[in-house]
Structures are given as structure tokens and as C-alpha cells.
Amino acid sequence: MTVPSPAEATEPTEPTEPTEPEAKPPPTRRRTFGLAAATALVMGNIIGGGIFALPATVAPYGTLSLLAFVVLSVAAVLLALLFGKLARRSPVTGGLYVYPRDAFGPFAGFLSAWSYWTMCWVSIAALAVAVVGYVDVLIPLHGDHALEAVVALAALWLPAAANFAGTRWVGAVQIVSTVLKFVPLLLVATVGLFFVDTDNFGPFNATGDSVPGALAASAALLLYSFLGVESAAVSAGEVDDPERTVGRASILGTLASALVYILGTVAVFGLVPHDKLVDSGAPFADAVNAITGGSWGGTAIALVAVASITGCLNGWILLAAQMPYAAARDGLFPAPFAKVNKGGVPGFGVWAVAVLGTALIGLNYTAGPDTTFRVLVLITTFTGCVPYLLSAAAQLYWLAQGTRERVRPAGLVRDLIVAALSFAFSFWLIAGAGYAAVYQGVLFLFAGIPVYVWLRGRTDRDQSSGAASSSPSLPRP
């Protein structure tokens, strides 16, 4: 099949009459992600800092958080099904930006892109901070916040450098890092179950709040561990045969990740006493030490954790550059984001994410890695759920329209259920993030509106000037 260029892939579906000579199209980028690489991209972005850091973060809620993991696993599979269906209609780079834009117009597309991009670089900063706890197992940092910040920045910039090498290198790194972390994690999640002590689990609801409230609050934190389910959809322009591959990769990657998450978290909760887990900076290392009875096991898992999080950062940086790339092609993000380097990567987007992540780490390192990680995670929950909501709404819109060219008649009820539940789950998770996270997330979201106003105003001005110059002049009376 003919592969569309990025400019063609992100144009509105309605044909328009050109008013000016066509500009030279940008070079077509080859699609380099097959099913294996796309699945690895999904798994690599899902299984990263979440599985290694979040068991300790949600331990204060008690074993109720294990139930939240199950609920989120179902929600993540529903989102994977949703993105697979949407990718069949718009198999292009930009996914979560393209779907709302096609359904509701450029402003909805911009809000989705801006929110997702904010989530990406805040999430990247959080992942880099998550490395610190496991590096501390390998090389004691003695609570030196300045040294912890240096470690986090190194974890951020190394994968950023890998992205400049090109998307083929990104895909290769994803496969290697996914294998490195998935096999040991699965061994811990299975072997560790034989060493579980039920006395270590602690109370079911350790907060004393209502069960629905505690479940929503823990789920809001745990959503961070499932961010990345949309990875193949966002990078669909790089995926071979995206109409089929995106959906399959999303579902396979999500199911495999959910299996590792649930088994691994149960093992950690049963291996590390609850009071110790609450204060743990490296919960999986503590769990392996409980199995081996020494420190060598914890050191080995710490090495795996550092490799895992670094690989996850590698994929997230690519996604963070792809979303504004697609929006910039439509004039809804600053023009430099649309530039592609020789390796096929939007280089300016990579630089922007790395610089913003650096600033965020620098501003927050004095609070310590544990507090910084929790704050950043909750912000990503809000900013991540906004594009999920808008994408689910876009699917509901197309289904409500009911045109055969946009909706496959077979499975209509199933698609409606998937879209409606995806919307409901996203709304529920936003509510569970809490007032502080929603407040900060809304500030980040609204900060993008002046950018949209400026860019849209200049675009409309240029289009009006072009139309005026191409119209024949009328004689003066």
C-alpha cells in the first residue's frame, strides 16, 4: 500500500479546493514498527517506573490497591480496544490529537494534544525521579538531594540522546529493554508467590476512608502505571499496516503488562511487611531480598529496574515528540515542532521535552524523590485522562453519526459499550486524582489556550491574505 506523508496523514478528511500552488511535500518517513516492535513499544512504555515504584506509593491505602489494579487492568484493555478502533479510521501519527480534531474541530484537537504533551513531559520527569530509589540501592546517595537530581537528569538525557539517532534505534532499544525487564519481573511475580507471607499484607483499607473513595484515590495513582496503552496509536504513522497492527499491539501489550503488574504487586505486598513497604524507596529490591535472604538479589533487581525505567523513558520521549509534531503540521503547535531530523525524529520536540523535564526536576528536587514522584504522578493522571476522554467522545460521535464509511455496522453495540465505559473510567479517574491534582492540571491545560489563540489567529490571517491576493481586483467606482 502507499504510505501517506505526514502532511497528508494529518489533513482533514473533507476535500478542499486549493487556493495557492502546493508547497513541496515533506519527505515521507518509512514505517519501521512491526507487530513485535509496536507491542514492545506499548509494553515498554507501560512497564517502566510504575511497576517498580508504585507498590510503595499505594501501600498506605492497604491491599485495597490490589483491587484497584484489577479494575484498572479492565479499563486499560477497554482503552486498548478503543484506540485500535480509532486507529482503523485514522492510521496516522498523532492518534489522541487526530481523533478529537477530526470529530470536533481544531480547538478540541489542540486541547487534547496540549494536555497529552503536558502529561508526557511531566511523566518523563516522574520516571526520571523514579530511577533515584534504585540507583540508591546500587550506589548509596545518602539522601543528598542535589546528587539525586543529578541522577534523575542523567536518566532523562541518556534516552533523549538515543531518540536523536532515529526511530529505528528507538524500536530496537524498546525490544531489548522490554526483554531485559519483562523476564526478570515475571520470574519475581511467579517465584515470589511461593514466599508470600499473608501477615505482610496489612489491612484491606488502611486509610479509614470509605472504600469507594479509597479505591478511586489509589486507582488515580495506579493509572500512572498504565499510561502508554495508547503508544501504538500515537505513533501509528511509524507502524507497518497500522489498521491491523495498532489494535493488536495495544491489546497484547496491555494484557501482558497487566499480568505482570497484578502478579508482581501481589508478590511485593506479600514479601515486604506493610509498615516497611510504606517507607520503601525500592520495593522490588526489598521483595527480592526477602526471597534470597541477602542483598545480592536486591542489587540485581535494582539493575533491572534502572534498565527498565531508562527504556521506558526512551519510548515516552518519542511519544512526547510525535504528538506536537502532528499538531504542528496543522498549524496548531509552534512550527519548529514539525521539523524532522535526518533520523526521522521531530528533534525540536525531543529537545523541548528534555529541557522542560530538566526544569521540573530542578524545581522539585528539594522535596525529595518520594514526594516529588507522588505529586507528578497525580498531575499526569489528570492531563492523561483529558485526551482519553476526548478520544472516547470522538468515537461516540462517529458511532452516533452512524455513516457506513466511518462506522462498521458489525459490532456497533460492542463499540458503543467500549467507548462509553472508556469515557466513564477516564472521568472516574480524574475525580480520584483529588482537588490539588485537578487544580494544577487545569492550570497546565489552560496555559495552552493563549498558544492556540496566537497560532490560530496568525493562520487565519495568512489564509485571508492569501485568498485576497488571489482574488481579481475590482475597478474603483
Min mean pLDDT across 41-55, 239-253, 308-322 is at 41-55
The predicted structure's pLDDT at residue 393: 94
Measured between its terminal Cα atoms, the distance across the chain in Å is 56
pTM, whole model, 2 decimals?
Answer: 0.75
Q: Where are the alpha helices (DSSP H) in 195-346?
A: 211-226, 231-234, 242-271, 274-278, 283-292, 296-329
- Which pLDDT score, from 0 to 100, does residue 399 have? 87
Mean pLDDT of the chain: 78
**Contacts with 31 (C-beta within 8 Å, 6 or more apart), sequence order:** 3, 237, 238, 239, 240, 242
The sign of the CA dihedral 373, 303, 180, 261 is: negative
Q: What is the mean pLDDT of residues 368-388?
A: 80
pLDDT exceeds 60 at position 11? no
Question: Under CATH, which architecture does the 29-393+425-458 domain have?
Answer: Up-down Bundle (1.20)
> Residue 422: which of 84, 43, 10 has the closest Cα?
84
Asked if residue 374 has pLDDT above 70, the reply is yes
Residue with the larger pLDDT of the pair 360 and 355: 355
What is the model's pLDDT at position 173? 66
Q: Which residue has the higher pLDDT, 411 or 188?
A: 188
Measured CA to CA, the distance from residue 458 to residue 461 in angstroms comes to: 5
Distance CA 4, CA 438 (A): 38
pLDDT at 323: 72
pLDDT given for residue 2 in this prediction: 34
DSSP 330: T
Best-predicted range by mean pLDDT (67-81, 183-197, 280-294, 314-328): 67-81
What are 138-174's pLDDT values in tens digits? 888 877 777 888 888 888 888 888 777 665 666 666 6
Supply the pLDDT for residue 467.
61
pLDDT higher for 362 or 252?
252
What are residue 239's DSSP bridge partners?
A: 33
Does residue 301 contact residue 206 with C-beta atoms inside 8 Å? no
